[in-house]
Structure formats: C-alpha cells, structure tokens
Amino acid sequence: MRAAFAKTLLGLAEKNPDIFLLTGDLGFSVFEEFKARFPLRYLNCGVAEQNMLGMAAGMALEGKTVFVYSIIPFLLYRGLEQIRNDMCYQRLPVKLAGVGSGLAYGTAGGSHHAVEDIGVMTSLPDMAVFAPGDPLEAARLTEFSLSLETPCYIRLNKAGDAVVHTTETIAALEPGKPAKVFGGASRNVIFAVGNMVPEAVETAKLLKSRGREFSVYSVHTLKPLDEESIAGILRSSAVVATIEEHAARNGLFSAIAGVAAKNCIRAAIYASALPDSYSHEVGSRQYLRRLYRLDRDSLAEKLYAVKEGG
C-alpha cells in the first residue's frame, strides 16, 4: 500500500509542479525515485516533526500542495497542535500520509503502533480522514485528496497488502462512500477499515464455506462519513459487524454505532477491535492479531456464533 501511495504521488507530481513531499527522515526504499526525479520538490525535514508540519502549512499558504510523510504516531502526535492550529484552524489543504496503521510495526512495540489515530484525527474539525483498505484504494484516495480544500489524513498500511478490489469496483469507488468488496445481497454485513479489509474478506470467505453469507464493506473514508449510505446498509442488515485494527472507542465501531443511533436503527453491532490498553506483547502483526482475536479464524468463529436477528 505504501508503494502504491509512492507510485501514485510520483504520477501526480509529474503532472502538477506544485506538489511537494516532506518527510521526517523516513521513506527508505519508498521515496528514492521521487527524490531523484523531483529533488527540488522533496525535502527531508529531519527528525523534527513540529517544524515539518509548520513548514507544510507555510508552503500551503504559498499555494503548494504538500504531502507530509512519516510513521503515524510521529506524524500525528508530536506536532498535533501544528496539525490543529496551522492546518485545520487555517483550513490549509496539507495531506498527511502516515505509514504503519494499527499493528503494522508489530515487534517494534507500542511506540510505533497506531491504534487510536482514527479517533484523534476524526475529532479534528475540518480534517478529512481516509483509511484505504488495499493498494488500489490508496491510489484512488491519494488522487482524490488533491481536490480537497481542507487538510486530510491518509492512513496507510505498510507492505504486502492483498488487493480486494477489481478493476470495476475500484472504478466505481466514490470517496466518502463505503465500498462493497465482497459478497452478494447478504443480510449480514461486515464493515471493515483499512488494513483489516483483506482480513475481513478472508473472514467472510471462511464463513461462506461454513454456510454463513456476509458481505464486506471497506469504510475507506471515516470523515466525512457517508451516513446516508451506511444507514441504508444498516437498515437492510440482520447481523452487523465491525472489524478494525484500532481501538473500538472513536474508531470504526463508534462511527457505525453513531449512524445507527442517529437514524433510530436497532442493531446489535458486533465489534472486533483492539483493547483499550496499549499492547506490551512482543510479536509480529499476525501474532498480535491472533492474540487480540483479529485474525480471520477468530473473527469467523465469533461471527459464526452470532445468530441472525440476535
């Protein structure tokens, strides 16, 4: 997904001479080509995120389209006030591209995990939040971000993401609107976000093999949230599940539950999310997913036990 982002950015920069890339000293094996092709529009700001974000805002004031890249917690939290005051409050369309969603940096430990970023970023007024579910969504949403007049956050996974879209479904993708990536007209639905979308599809496949049909939606845009289409899906669903590699509070579960409550839709929403506590377990993402029952087997087992209308 990171590679898809880098490739898309390269293509966009080719056409748009105002596109700049700032990095907080990260991007090894990702941005070498951008740096070589556009040396004057690339800046390694060093390990100094506050200044990087402030500079991005200043450059946006000069009409530049600035992408700022780092590992999610460093990108968002060190300079959160710069994001709030310099970008959101001033409505400057800087694009924050964070890498390493959820537990992507598994063994690196909790300092590198991004388990509350959706909550933090969707809380900021004037901020748009995207969490692409596969490399095709990452490319599409990166392109779309150019049309925004306010700042946005693009929550990227790292590498090795499965593609869940087809040429047709990605062509039909509407920014803002959840994209159906698996299943037919099932009355059971899984909403998944970002890096959990491929795992949700695998979960649905396992469930299907055991006779339970679930459709899977990628909620690639958390903000603005297309409440109308989500309410429509909720109304016609018997079982509703959310899957996210993020805390349930202020993540996908909260978003979907909010739409249900606002629209008086009675639904038990089966949330699969990370606990409300930082992980101190040492392990790969796969190991941690199994531990927190976010792997396809655990998810399928949980949802298989849910009775329709129950």
Site residues (CB under 8 A) for another protein?
20, 40-41, 43, 45-46, 48, 50-64, 79, 81-82, 85-86, 89-91
CB-nearer residue toward another protein: 62 or 168: 62
CB-nearer residue toward another protein: 54 or 73: 54
CB-nearer residue toward another protein: 45 or 152: 45
Outline where the chain has alpha helix (H). 2-15, 32-37, 49-61, 72-77, 80-81, 117-122, 135-145, 167-171, 197-209, 227-235, 252-262, 285-291, 296-304
CB-nearer residue toward another protein: 56 or 120: 56
Smallest distance, another protein to C-beta of residue 40, A? 6
How far is 265 from 96, CA to CA, in rounded Å?
34
Smallest distance, another protein to C-beta of residue 79, A? 8
**147-217-192 Cα angle (round to 5):** 95
How far is 270 from 186, CA to CA, in rounded Å?
16
Smallest distance, another protein to C-beta of residue 130, A? 23
Contacts of 156 (CB under 8 A, 6+ apart): 1, 2, 5, 97, 98, 99, 100, 101, 132, 138
CB-nearer residue toward another protein: 16 or 85: 85
Smallest distance, another protein to C-beta of residue 105, A? 24
- In this structure, the strands spanning 152-156 and 95-99 are parallel
CB-nearer residue toward another protein: 127 or 139: 127
Estimate the crossing angle of helix 2-15 against helix 135-145, to 10 degrees.
Answer: 30
Smallest distance, another protein to C-beta of residue 48, A? 4
CA-wise closest residue to 150 among 128, 120, 118, 130 = 128
Smallest distance, another protein to C-beta of residue 155, A? 24
Smallest distance, another protein to C-beta of residue 78, A? 10
Residue 39: in which H helix or E strand, if any?
A: none
CB-nearer residue toward another protein: 38 or 214: 38
For residue 98, count other CB atoms closer than 10 A to its CB.
Answer: 22
Amino acid identity, position 65: T
Smallest distance, another protein to C-beta of residue 114, A? 23
How far is 4 from 34, CA to CA, in rounded Å?
13
**121-83-105 Cα angle (round to 5):** 55
CB-nearer residue toward another protein: 47 or 261: 47
